[in-house]
Amino acid sequence: MFEKGVGVTADAAEARRLYERAARQGNVKAMHNLAVMQAGASGGAQDFTAAARNFEAAAQHGLADSQYNLAILYERGLGVERDLAAAYLWFSIAAAGGDADAAARAEALKNAIDAAKLVEAELAARTFIARPQDRAANQASWHSSSQAPSARAAQQAS
């Protein structure tokens, strides 16, 4: 809401603060959104190191956009040491989740990586298992005084 000004005045600093809070509580999309803001200097100072840390946290939970963005940071050496094998790994994991752009990026990196590191990265990508997400931190909830729009619509239709 605050990031885009939906229903409220846009306030990037407040959005960033709320994403930080939600990310600390385990919300995977908040981890990703916070990392995007950190990488882009929205609502505060640009911090690629913090962005990499938050992209990795969300990537470990299976968020393909974070896997892709983390790969970009490794490829470019932003916030992390430049590591083409790590970039290949994360592009490959995102590609396994259906990201065609990630598949193309992974393929483009193959020839730039030492053969032994490439084999290691390919094995790690094939055996990657996302960490489970905390359900409570990753589902929207409705206060008892209000109902989800679908529940209201169902009641009105009765």
Residue 94 lies in a domain: yes
Q: Considering the domain boundaries, does residue 153 fall inside one? A: no
pLDDT band at 33 (very low <50, low <70, confident <90, very high): very high
Instruction: Taking residues 15-33, report their average pLDDT.
Output: 91
Query: pLDDT digits over 53-76, tens only?
Result: 999 999 999 999 999 999 999 999
Q: Please say if the pLDDT value at position 150 is more than 50.
A: no
Q: CATH number of the domain that 88 lies in?
A: 1.25.40.10
Residue 151 lies in a domain: no
Question: What is the pLDDT at residue 118?
Answer: 98
Residue closest to 103 by CA, chosen among 125, 124, 82: 125
pLDDT score for 141: 56
Read off the pLDDT of residues 97-119 as tens digits, 9 standing for 90 and up.
Answer: 999 999 999 999 999 999 999 99
Token reading at 62: 């299976």
Lowest mean pLDDT among 8-17, 18-27, 77-86: 8-17
3 near 34, Cβ under 8 Å? no
Q: Is residue 144 part of a domain?
A: no
pLDDT of residue 9: 67
Determine, yes or no, domain membership for 7.
no
Q: Report in angstroms the alpha-carbon separations of 84 from 3, 33, 51, 63.
A: 32, 24, 18, 20
Domain membership of residue 76 (yes or no) is: yes
Residue 51 CB contacts under 8 Å (≥ 6 apart), including other chains: 35, 36, 38, 39, 69, 73, 78, 79
How many domains is the chain built from? Answer: 1
Domain assignment present for 145: no
Region of poorest pLDDT, from 9-13, 16-20, 62-66, 94-98: 9-13
pLDDT of amino acid 50:
96
Range of the domain at 103: 12-137
Residue 24 lies in a domain: yes
